[in-house]
């Protein structure tokens, strides 16, 4: 029997695409990406709403794939991290649920001047 993979049975996914990749990688950038990876994994465990699927780096971008039964809950859980991390500024986020896709952009962190 072949399993059915209808959109309704697939759950949800969140794709976070950072606007830099292997061609712009530096030791500091790799450290920041490792820190972001750890923060996302910890938040998903804490919120119990999804899993960290993988990270894909190509010359132009780095994409994180998060998945679970409810993509909106995953996005709500990780949004504070995305908005707080400067490396996420300008990132593209795709929230995919039941065959529907919604796109968001991570804003640029505000700087405080004293």
- Of 23, 49, 33, 43, the C-alpha closest to 85 is 33
8 occurs within a structural domain: no
pLDDT tens profile 4-15? 444 444 589 999
pLDDT tens profile 63-102? 999 999 999 999 999 999 999 999 999 999 999 999 899 9
12 occurs within a structural domain: no
pLDDT tens profile 21-69? 888 888 999 999 999 999 999 999 999 999 999 999 999 999 999 999 9
Name the pairing type of β-strands 62-68 and 12-18.
antiparallel
pLDDT at 2: 42
Cα–Cα distance between 16 and 38 in angstroms, integer? Answer: 14
Q: In the chain, how many domains are there? A: 1
Cα 60 to Cα 30, 78, 102, distances in angstroms:
14, 23, 22
Cα–Cα distance between 13 and 98 in angstroms, integer? Answer: 10
Range of the domain at 29: 23-98
């Amino acid at each position: 029997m072949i399993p059915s993979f209808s959109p309704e049975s697939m759950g949800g996914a969140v794709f976070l695409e950072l606007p830099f990749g292997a061609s712009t990688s530096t030791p500091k950038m790799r450290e920041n990406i490792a820190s972001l990876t750890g923060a996302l994994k910890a938040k998903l465990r804490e919120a119990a709403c999804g899993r960290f699927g993988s990270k894909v780096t190509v010359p132009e971008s780095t994409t994180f794939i998060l998945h679970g039964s409810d993509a909106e809950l995953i996005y709500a859980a990780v949004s504070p991290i995305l908005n707080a991390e400067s490396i996420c500024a300008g990132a593209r986020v795709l929230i995919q649920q039941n065959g529907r896709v919604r796109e968001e952009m991570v804003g640029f962190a505000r700087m405080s001047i004293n």
